[in-house]
């Protein structure tokens, strides 16, 4: 997994709002019932900070295992 962790985490994070919006469009998910717009901004800030942290602690380029 070394070399792919950051990419996988960022990919998963990117898919969450897409999936939520798709479900909202289909009427199966009310995004605002779980996260207010103000809280969404904080969530994006925290996720961005965690991704920067992950990039700082990784010692290999993206896609390489050693």
Q: Would you state the pLDDT for residue 1?
A: 64
Alpha helices in the chain (DSSP H): 5-25, 37-57
* 2 contacts 60 by C-beta, under 8 angstroms: yes
Q: Would you state the pLDDT for residue 23?
A: 75
* 65 contacts 58 by C-beta, under 8 angstroms: no
Q: Would you state the pLDDT for residue 9?
A: 80
- Please determine, for residue 7, whether its predicted confidence score (pLDDT) is greater than 80: no
Neighbours of 41 (CB within 10 A): 11
- Please determine, for residue 3, whether its predicted confidence score (pLDDT) is greater than 70: no
Tokens 């779980």 sit at which residue? 34
pLDDT bracket for residue 66 (50, 70, 90):
low
- Domain residue spans in the chain? 5-57
Tens digit of each residue's pLDDT (9 = 90 or more) over 9-62: 888 888 887 887 777 777 776 767 777 878 877 887 888 888 878 877 877 776
């Amino acid at each position: 997994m070394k070399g792919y962790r950051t990419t996988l985490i960022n990919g998963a994070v990117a898919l969450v709002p897409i999936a939520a919006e798709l479900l909202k469009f289909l009427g199966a998910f009310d995004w605002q019932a779980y996260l207010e717009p103000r809280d969404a901004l904080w969530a994006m800030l925290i996720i961005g900070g965690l991704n920067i942290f992950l990039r700082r602690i990784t010692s290999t380029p993206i896609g390489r295992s050693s």
